[in-house]
């Protein structure tokens, strides 16, 4: 994990302790092991995991720097990216990992227990349901998502969960600017404002990586998010 430590410091000014590096190493081993039995990730080679999962997750800090006790929710976290990696790097965060697939929740709970993490919850739910739930609606300082949906759909998942003046960070590829433009109507309707798009360059990676940052400026109307499946079937574009 020395490569991870060096790159986290050089790219993102994140200093990882020996204990944190051990946790990342354990996480990598569990990811490779469980991926043999269930569909978690096709990326299991150690260095590739460090770059395409761990460093990619930590890149969120380029758009919004975490602060102590911040409440964060990761929508569609899958195998825990970016949320669980951020929790390891910033243990003072209160992290909620939301995932609709029960088997992936089981994996996440296993990793949390194996790593001895506290202040991290799992939520087996769809974003449309969580966004209307009293315990989650407008409760988070930061909402993050990686590879979940196109922006016109994604902002309907994210913005209802964010507090006013909170942030949403969507991790995107080369279509980031196009998707952000397509989401203008949705942002205006749901109480969001595009803050900026940050380009990233990860080691050993030629693909385009971008962080789309959105500020929650007003409350989201109570009608949103709509019923499960509706945002993807009828995007606000």
Torsion of CA 42, 43, 46, 50, to 10 degrees: -150
- Domain spanning 66-218+225-233: which superfamily? Vaccinia Virus protein VP39 (3.40.50.150)
Whole-model pTM: value is 0.96
Question: Does residue 62 surpass a pLDDT of 90?
Answer: yes
Please report the pLDDT score of residue 208 as a whole number.
87
Please report the pLDDT score of residue 141 as a whole number.
98
Question: How does the average pLDDT of the chain come out, rounded?
Answer: 96
Any idea which of 28-32, 35-39, 122-126 has the lowest mean pLDDT? 35-39
Q: pLDDT tens digits for 136-179?
A: 999 999 999 998 999 999 999 999 999 999 999 999 999 999 99
pLDDT band at 223 (very low <50, low <70, confident <90, very high): very high
Burial class (CB in 10 A: 0-12, 13-18, 19+), 138: middle
Q: What percent of the chain lies above the pLDDT cut of 90?
A: 92
pLDDT band at 73 (very low <50, low <70, confident <90, very high): very high
Q: Where are the domains of the chain?
A: 66-218+225-233
Please report the pLDDT score of residue 188 as a whole number.
97
């Amino acid at each position: 994990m020395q490569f991870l430590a060096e790159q986290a410091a050089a790219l993102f000014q994140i200093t990882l302790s020996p204990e944190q590096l051990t946790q990342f190493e354990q996480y990598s081993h569990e990811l490779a092991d469980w991926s043999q039995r269930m569909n978690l990730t096709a990326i299991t080679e150690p260095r590739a995991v460090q770059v395409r999962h761990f460093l990619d997750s930590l890149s969120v800090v380029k758009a919004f720097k975490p602060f102590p006790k911040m409440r964060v929710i990761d929508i569609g976290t899958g195998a825990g990216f970016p949320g669980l990696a951020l929790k390891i790097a910033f243990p003072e965060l209160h992290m909620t990992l939301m995932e609709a697939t029960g088997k992936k929740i089981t994996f996440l709970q296993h990793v949390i227990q194996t790593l001895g993490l506290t202040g991290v919850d799992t939520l087996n739910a769809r974003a449309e349901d969580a966004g209307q739930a009293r315990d989650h609606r407008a409760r988070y300082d930061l909402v993050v998502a990686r590879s979940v949906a196109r922006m016109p759909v994604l902002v309907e998942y994210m913005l209802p969960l964010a507090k006013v003046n909170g942030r949403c960070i969507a991790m995107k590829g080369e279509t980031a600017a196009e998707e952000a433009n397509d989401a203008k109507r949705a942002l205006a309707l749901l109480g969001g404002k595009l803050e900026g798009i940050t380009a990233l360059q990860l080691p050993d990676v030629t693909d385009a990586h971008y962080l789309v940052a959105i500020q929650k400026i007003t409350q989201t109307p109570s009608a949103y998010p709509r019923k499960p499946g509706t945002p993807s079937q009828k995007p606000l574009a």
